[in-house]
């Protein structure tokens, strides 16, 4: 009888040890899985952020959201063919270096189809959501700069500040006056106003240029009626060592979704654009979706 009792006790102790070992093993496996998932989540996030940040470096554009304002610092123009090839090479680099059997990286359109970066529409390259205000270029030569908005969403824009630092030309007009035949601020047509009072689609614009000699000209006209087909156009007279030409400035018209259009005529510039909204509830995206995924999860979001 004592032998049977001893055998039962021994069996229960052994069973308890097996149960304990099983629990510890399962716990370690769960911890290992959780650790793997955390590592994968970190890898997904930092890979996504790295690729997204590098895209802006490739385009030589830096964007930020500061309270109620979107700020975009840009360098214009660019070599169109070089930039398009650079985008292709960057995508190849992503595919060959970043992407491997354990992580997938794709640039996608809104339908989830993989896209070629060099085919993205430069006119809507940077999108401010949800109001769909766009910052972009005529093409990847970055010689013509646009700020665009639909009529329905224009009311979100409170003010637009644009500072253009001219790197290789100087003013060929009198930047010390705002009247007279040799002034810099010649608008034709001219739909500038003294205020926005009573105007449904009125742009509050602060436009400033600095030439290569450090001279600064701030356009005195601050308010523009851009409703319907109304627009204002100015030709800023500049000159380099060998020739003179115009930088073309167009404010409106909103019926073409144009808020502001600058044709630099290949003048080298650094620009700082600040778009102030009547809300802080917005975000800035590149016109592509970046999908980074592993077996543990994925991050799919606009660039």
Residues 6+ apart with CB under 8 A from 6: none
φ, ψ of residue 100 to 5 degrees: the values are: -150, 180
Note the pLDDT tens digit of each residue in 52-62.
Answer: 777 778 888 99
The pTM assigned to this predicted structure is: 0.82
Check: CB of residue 282 under 8 Å from CB of residue 122: no
Handedness of CA 122, 128, 129, 132 (dihedral sign): negative
Rounded Cα distance between 107 and 116, Å, is 7
Note the pLDDT tens digit of each residue in 69-102.
Answer: 999 999 999 999 988 888 888 888 888 877 777 8
What is the secondary structure of 109-158 as a DSSP string?
-TTS-B--GGGS-GGGSEEEETTTEEEEESSTT--EEEEE--TTTGGGEE
User: Residue 281: its pLDDT value, please?
Assistant: 95
Q: Residue 43, SS3?
A: helix
Distances (CA, A) of 84 to 33, 79, 89, 118, 290: 42, 9, 9, 5, 19
Q: How far, in whole angstroms, is CA 120 from its chain's centroid?
A: 13
Distances (CA, A) of 21 to 153, 275, 277: 64, 63, 61
> For residue 173, with 0-12 CB atoms within 10 Å meaning exposed, 13-18 middle and 19 or more buried, which class applies?
buried
User: Residue ranges of the chain with pLDDT lower than 50?
Assistant: 1-36
Check: CB of residue 171 under 8 Å from CB of residue 216: no
């Amino acid at each position: 009888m004592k032998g049977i009792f001893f055998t039962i006790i021994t069996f229960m102790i052994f069973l308890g040890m097996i149960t304990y070992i099983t629990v510890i093993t399962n716990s370690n496996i769960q911890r290992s899985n959780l650790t793997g998932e955390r590592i994968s989540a970190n890898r997904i996030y930092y890979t996504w952020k790295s690729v997204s940040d590098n895209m802006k470096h490739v385009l030589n554009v830096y964007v930020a959201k500061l309270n109620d304002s979107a700020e975009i610092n840009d360098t214009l123009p660019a070599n169109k063919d070089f930039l398009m090839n650079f985008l292709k090479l960057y995508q190849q680099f992503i595919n060959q270096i970043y992407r491997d059997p354990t992580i997938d990286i794709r640039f996608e359109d809104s339908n989830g189809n993989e896209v070629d970066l060099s085919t993205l529409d430069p006119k809507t390259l940077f999108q401010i959501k949800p109001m769909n205000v766009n910052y972009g270029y005529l093409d990847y030569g970055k010689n013509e700069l646009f700020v665009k908005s639909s009529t329905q969403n224009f009311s979100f824009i409170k003010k637009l500040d644009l500072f253009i630092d001219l790197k290789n030309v100087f003013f060929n007009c009198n930047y010390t006056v705002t009247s007279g035949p040799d002034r810099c601020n010649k608008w034709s047509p001219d739909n500038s106003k003294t205020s926005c009072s009573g105007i449904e689609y009125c742009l509050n614009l602060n436009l400033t240029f600095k030439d290569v000699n450090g001279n600064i000209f701030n356009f005195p006209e601050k308010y523009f009626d851009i409703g319907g087909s109304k627009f204002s156009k100015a030709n800023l007279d500049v000159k380099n060592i060998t020739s003179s030409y115009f930088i073309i400035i167009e404010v409106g018209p909103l019926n073409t979704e144009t808020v502001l259009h600058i044709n630099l005529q290949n003048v080298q510039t650094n620009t700082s654009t600040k778009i102030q909204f009547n809300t802080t509830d917005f975000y800035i995206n590149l016109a592509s979706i970046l999908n980074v995924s592993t077996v543990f999860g994925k991050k799919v979001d606009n660039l």
